[in-house]
Structure 1
C-alpha cells in the first residue's frame, strides 16, 4: 500500500520511468516511510484549494501506479514491510468539483476532523498552504480583474454623469444669463421710455409755465393794436356807409400786411369770415370785454390764449371797405364803447 504523505520539503519527486527505460523497481525499507496517525486530509476554509494533501495524494498515487505498471513486467521480488498498526477507515477522496469549491471533507467527517487528521498525518501548515496559495492567487487575480472592470465601468458611468451634469449646468447658466440679459434690456427700454415720457412732460410743463409767465407778465399791461397807422374814422360818426347809421369803431389805416396785436391778455373766442367785417378776430379779455379786429388780410392765431402785444393777424381790406385799414371795436355787455376813450383809459397814447 503506497503512502499518501507528501514528499519531505526540499526533496524532488521523480516520475517513474516507462517500461524498458531502466531496471526493476524494488522498493526497500529505506524507501518506504511508515505512516503514523490517521490518514485524513485537513480541510481549510475560504480558499480555492485548502491543502496540498490532495496534491500529494495524487502525486503518490501516480507514482505508485507507474511503479505497479512497470513491476507487472518484472519478476516479483519479495519485499519486507514492517508491521503496521491497524489504521482506521480512510475517508473518501474529494471529487474535482469539491476541490474547486474548496470542500476537502471527501464526504465524511467535519472540518475539525480534517484539520486534526492533517496534523496527525504530519502535514504542517506551510505544506498544506502551498496548494492553497496558488488557488488563492488565481482567485484573487480573477476577483481583482472583475473589480478592475467594475471600477472602470463605474468610473465611466461617473464620468458620463459628471459630463451630463456639467452640460446641464452650462445650459442652465446660459439660460439664466439670457434671461438676465433680456430682463436688463427690458428694464433699459422701460427706463428709456419713462425718461422720454418724463422729458416730454417736463418740456410741456416748461412751455405751459412760460406761457403762463408771459400771460401773467402781459396782464395788467396794454398795447396799441397796430403801428405806423393813421386814424381815419372815429367812433359815432354818422353815415350811410354803416348799417347802424353811424360808425361803431375806430379805424387805423395802415398798409396791407401790417401786424395786428392783442391790446391785452385774453382768449380768442372767434376767428373767421364775418360778412361786411371781412376776416374778423374776437378777443375776450379777463374782465369780459370783447375787442373786435376786422377787415384782416390774414389771421395768425385763431384760438387759445394770447398776451398783450402778441401778433394775431395782418391789416387788410376784406369786407365792406374803401381801403386797407384795421377796424377796431370795443364791446362791453354786448354794447359798443368808444375805442379811443377806452385805450386812453388804459394808459395808451393813441
Structure 2
C-alpha cells in the first residue's frame, strides 16, 4: 500500500543517451510536504490573471489531488480538501443562475414556496389561461367539464332532431291521411255527380220515351204479373201482365206500329198484335171488341180495342204480353219501365 510519506530517493542511473542520470520513480502519494518544486524543464512560467502559463503544473496538481483523496480514503484517512485559487472561484457562475436549477439548487429554498408552486403548467393553452386556469389539473378539469357540456349539447341536439323528425313524420302522415280522405271525398263526390248526371240523363231519355210511349189502358189494377205459377194457365205459369178494368175500358197502342193480327185466338179471346219498328210485338188479349184490322198503322195512345172477358178468364181484364223480335216472351213490367212508364 502507498503512504503519504515522502518516497525514498532512488539512486541516479546513467544512460547512454545523456550525461545526466535519470531518476527511477516508484509509487508515491504527493502531499503538501512531499511535493517539491519542479526544476529543470518543468519550470513555472509567468502567471497571467492568476493562472499558470504551463499546463503541466495544473495537471500535476489535479493528479496529486485525486490521488491523495483516493488513497486517503483507501487508508481511512481524512480527505484532503482541494481549494482553487480565488481567481478561479470568483469567476465561477452562481448555481442558481444555471438553466433548470433555480431554487432547487439553493440550500436555503423555502419549503412553503416550493409547496405552493404549481406542479406543472404543461399542456395549458392560452384559452385555459383566459378561463382562469392556474395549473394543468384545473385546466384538465375545465376541459373535461367543457367536453361533458359539449356531449350533453350534442345529445340534446340529437334528441331534438329525432323529436323534430318524428313530428315531421307524424305531420306528413296526417297530411297524407287528410289528402287521402280529401281525395276519397272528391272521388265520392265525382261518382255521385256522375251518378246524378247519369240518372238525370236517363230520366230525360225516359221522359222522351214516355212522350212516345203510353200505358195500354187506364183505371186499372194489376192482378197478375209475369212468371206466376198456377194451374189456371196452360203453360203452368203466367206469361203476361194483367190489367183488371171494367169492360169497355179503352185499350191503347203503347207505341207507333203496325197491326199484324186482329181476331179470335182461342184461350186469348179477341187478340190484337201490334208490331213496333224494332220488331217487338205487343199482344192485347181478352178484348171485348177490336177497332183496328191487320195491316193498319197506329200511333202512340191510339185506341185499338176495349177491355173484355173473352177466352179463358175469370173476369174482365187486359192480358198484355211482350215478345222480342226473335219470338221470346219477356216481362211486360220491365219492358214498360225501360220505356219510362210505371204500370
Give the TM-score taking structure 2 as reference length.
0.38
Q: Which has the higher contact order (CA 8 A, sep 6+)?
A: 1
